[in-house]
Amino acid sequence: MERQDIEIFLVLAEELHFGRTADRLFLSTALVSKTIKRIERQLGVRLFDRSSRHVMLTDIGRRLRADLHPHQQGIQQALERARLARNDITGTLAVGFMSVLAGTLVVQGRHRFRAEHPQCDVRVVETQVHHFVSQLRDGTVDVLLMSLPVDEPDIRVGPVVARRNRVVVASADHRFAGMDSVSWEDLAGETLPTAVPTFPDYAVDFHAPPRTPSGRRIERFTEPVATYLEALTMVSAGRMLVLGDTQLAQYYNRPDLVYLPVHDLPPLEFALLWRTCDDDDPRIRAFVAATVAAAPRTGP
């Protein structure tokens, strides 16, 4: 018996219907019937009792099914193991994150990735604001999840996995403290952080715009800040404000600070990044797909 003959026999033994068997195997009913007759002729035994209304296994047919079924399962499992071994991903992938939200999304992606590719480990690394994308460039991480914008010729910007509305953080005694929300124009005359030199100007201007829509000046703090905690400490002291997103109120909830929506600033987007030279790395492609699939579907 050929492998297809065995499959036809086992499916018919399960369905006990020539039409359904043919549909499952994408064959013609005539071919199924012809194959069963040929098997019976070769073995010299009757495997099915057929009538115009019923198809039933004979005693010999039931014994043959019981003998063949575990062997067919073993063959299918062996073929599936070979297929997975061909496509399996091994080694270690280093994944960076910037911000608590990005860390949460990376961990969710890691769980799904490891379930799909158990032979590949994932090492999670925190990236600070002052690193920007330097840890990608020096190989510390292979993938990075952080807020946009990122516009670098050697860095690939992948899918956006989260969006959050923008907020401004002020001290509890600031003039904004009694307001429900503020506008971009309200920031005129206020002071926002100065980023470290490793942060490019286009990113600084997005996260801390130098002017309002009408052109009024927004000041910059005299000293650069490298982390969120440094910036929030200066905010608490009344030295400046910080623009961020809604995760700040969630993860840095402090009684000395207030978090107010800025209703006319574009939302903050968080995307997966990797080196353009690694576009064909199967580990990166698989991790990106897993993280996108695991990310909650939330909008601004």
- CATH number reported for the structural domain that contains residue 139 in this entry: 3.40.190.10
Residue closest to 220 by CA, chosen among 189, 250, 197: 189
Is there a contact between 164 and 268 (Cβ–Cβ < 8 Å)? yes
Query: Per the confidence metrics, is the pTM higher than 0.85?
Result: no
Q: How many residues does the chain have?
A: 300
Domain boundary among 54, 87, 120: 87
Domain end among 46, 72, 87? 87
Shared domain for 113 and 81, answered yes or no, is no
Would you state the torsion angle of the CA atoms of residues 92, 98, 100, 101, taken in this order, to the nearest 10 degrees?
-90
In a domain, 31, yes or no: yes
Domain assignment present for 127? yes
User: Which pLDDT does position 166 carry in this prediction?
Assistant: 94
pLDDT of res. 197: 84
pLDDT at 3: 81
Q: Specify whether 241 is located in the same domain as 179.
A: yes
Q: Are residues 138 and 286 in the same domain?
A: yes
Q: What pLDDT, on a 0 to 100 scale, did the predictor assign at position 257?
A: 93
Give every CB contact of residue 223 below 8 A, 6+ residues apart in sequence: 194
Q: Same domain for 210 and 225? A: yes
144 and 198 both lie in a single domain: no
| Mean pLDDT, contiguous 10-residue spans, the chain (300 residues) | 87 91 90 92 92 88 89 75 64 93 93 90 91 94 96 94 93 92 95 87 92 95 83 91 89 89 93 94 93 69
Residue 128 lies in a domain: yes
Instruction: Specify whether 274 is located in the same domain as 152.
Output: yes
Instruction: Return the CATH number at 58.
Output: 1.10.10.10
**Is residue 116 domain-shared with residue 29, that is, in the same domain?**
no
- Do residues 95 and 128 share a domain? yes
Q: Residue type for 117, please? A: H
Same domain for 170 and 256, yes or no, is: yes
What per-residue confidence (pLDDT) applies to 299?
Answer: 39
- Residue 299 located in a structural domain: no
Total domain count for the chain?
3
* E strands, the chain, in order: 48-50, 55-57, 91-97, 120-126, 143-147, 155-164, 166-171, 191-195, 219-225, 242-245, 257-261, 268-275
For residue 155, what are the domain limits? 91-163+269-294
Whether 158 and 273 map to the same domain: the answer is yes
Distance of CA 140 to the CA centre of its chain: 20
* Cis geometry, peptide bond prior to residue 209 (ω within 30 degrees of 0): no
> For residue 75, what pLDDT is reported?
78
Whether residue 223 is contained in a domain is answered as yes
Q: 278 φ, ψ to 5°?
A: -105, 20
Spatial neighbors of 24 by CB under 8 A, at least 6 apart, are 11, 15
Considering the domain architecture, whether residues 213 and 289 belong to the same structural domain is answered as: no
- Identify whether 129 is part of a domain: yes
Q: Answer yes or no: do 23 and 35 share one domain.
A: yes
